[in-house]
Amino acid sequence: MSKKYRVAVVGATGAVGEVMRSTLAHRGFPVSELVALASARSAGLELEFGDGCVECQELTPDSFEGVDIALFSAGADISRTFAPIARDAGCVVIDNSSAWRMDPEVPLIVPEVNPDAARDHRGIIANPNCSTIQMVVVLKPLHDETRITRVVVSTYQAVSGTGTEAISELVRQSDELLEGMTPQVEVYPHQIAFNCLPHIDVFLEDGSTKEEQKMVDETKKIMGDDTIEVTATCVRVPVENGHSEAVNVQFAGEMPPARARELLASAPGVIVLDDPSLGMYPMPVIASGTDPVYVGRIRRDPTIPHGLNLWVVADNLRKGAALNAVQIAELLVERQLVRVPR
């Protein structure tokens, strides 16, 4: 009988934690026991897992005894505190927060892009930012064919990336505006309904946001190429779920659109939807609730040498977070890397 693993989900009641639970069950991950962990106020809640339920437990320093793999989705502060505790208890941590992504001793992994990085883990593996994940899944097969020199990306990010409170705020504000009321602002600094906010995470000294800097730094680390120039503008839009990206790519040599479509059509985890004459292109309503990264609007950029424009869409809660984390866990199992080096 194949080995099964005791798996913990930290932040099990949140938007990403919920999808982590469902993804583990849907993909048949070999779970012997699921340990659902959250704050004290969630302790005792019955949470769905597969055909049954598990009782949520309070996250404490003793939560990881006997746990093999822990999927963290509770934020950077929680991860900084509890990921080392889990690792020291003999658990391999796959962390969805920003806490460990740029640590040189922590692999930052997208299984379709850099699976071999898992060999070097020391008990903590970082799950990249949602917007970075979907972009590099598309860039990798193109970069392998003809080296990418520069990427300009503008994102259109759904409110689910902020959490369930943001989804509720979008719905509530939309109702308030349609009823002629002044929308109440709580989650975001300005109204999000019928609006776009070029402001995700905090602003840095150079005028960019932390979200934009994440895309720059993480792309280079995941792709394993610091020579790729990356610039990003990240925007929150009034879409419930599913991030979209307009990606402009410059290559060192020729990359005809037809060849790009051919490469992407055979790339793992990618679906090409690219026939504008039939109104066929990726949209959040298509991607939401599904696993692939969708790409379309593949066309030349005639203003630069060897340039392409792409439109990339994915479910940010699935491939952008929970699914990628579970795929990392599957990678660890497949390569027999579910162990903490001593």
What are the catalytic residues? 130, 243
229 phi and psi, to 5 degrees?
A: -85, 130
Spatial neighbors of 142 by CB under 8 A, at least 6 apart, are 148, 249, 251, 255, 260, 263, 264, 308
Site of tokens 């109440």: 184
Helices (H), 179-305: 210-223, 257-265, 284-287
Strand partners, 72: 10, 95
Beta strands in the chain (DSSP E): 5-10, 31-38, 46-49, 52-55, 57-58, 69-72, 92-95, 124-126, 148-157, 229-236, 243-251, 270-272, 293-301, 307-314
Q: Contact 68/5 with Cβ under 8 angstroms?
A: yes
Number of Cβ within a 10 Å radius of residue 207: 7
- Exposed, middle or buried by CB within 10 Å (0-12, 13-18, 19+), for 122? middle
Which residues are registered as beta bridge partners of 33?
6
- Chain CA centroid to CA 307, Å: 26
**Tokens in use for 163?**
């959490």
Q: Residue 256 is encoded by which pair of tokens? A: 């005809």
Written as six digits, the tokens of 36 are 């659902």
Rounded to whole angstroms, how far apart are CA atoms 188 and 170?
Answer: 10
CA separation for the pair 70, 91 (Å, rounded)? 7
Cα 203 off chain centre by: 21
- Measure the CA–CA gap between 49 and 53, rounded to whole angstroms: 5
Residue type, 25: A
